[in-house]
Structure 1
Amino acid sequence: MSTQATIEDKLRALEPAFLAVENESHRHNVPPNSETHFKVSLVSSRFEGLMPVKRHQQIYALLADELAGPVHALALHLFTPEEWEASGRSRPDSPDCRGGSKS
Structure 2
Amino acid sequence: MGEPTPEQVRAFIAAGLPCEHLEVEGDGRHFFATIVSAEFEGLSRVRRHQRVYGALGDRMREQIHALSMKTLTPAEHAG
Could you tell me which amino acid in structure 1 is paired with residue 8 of structure 2? T
SS in 1 for 2:22: strand
CA distance in 2, matches of 1:71, 1:14: 17
CA RMSD of aligned residues (A): 1.8
How many aligned positions are there? 76
- Give the whole-Å Cα distance in 2 for the aligned partners of 1:36 and 1:60: 16
TM alignment of 1:27-42, pairs within 5 A? 35-42=28-35
Whole-angstrom distance in 2 between the partners of 1:74 and 1:61? 13
Letter in 2 for 1:17: E
Secondary structure of 1:56's aligned partner: helix
- Would you tell me which structure has more strand in proportion to its own residues? 2
Out of 20, 29, 42, which is 2:23 matched to? 20
Of all paired residues, the percent bearing the same amino acid is 34
Q: Compare relative contact order (CA 8 Å, sep 6+) and give the higher one, 1 or 2.
A: 2
| C-alpha distance in 1 between matches for 2:64 and 2:10 | 13
Q: Which residue does 1:53 correspond to in 2? A: 46
Could you tell me the TM-score, scaled by structure 1's length? 0.65
Gaps of 5+ in 2: none
TM-score by length of 2: 0.82
Q: Which residue of 2 aligns with 1:85?
A: 78
Residues 70 and 14 of structure 1, relative CA distance in 2, 3 Å threshold: closer
Q: Which runs of 5 or more structure 1 residues have no equivalent in the other structure?
A: 26-34, 87-103
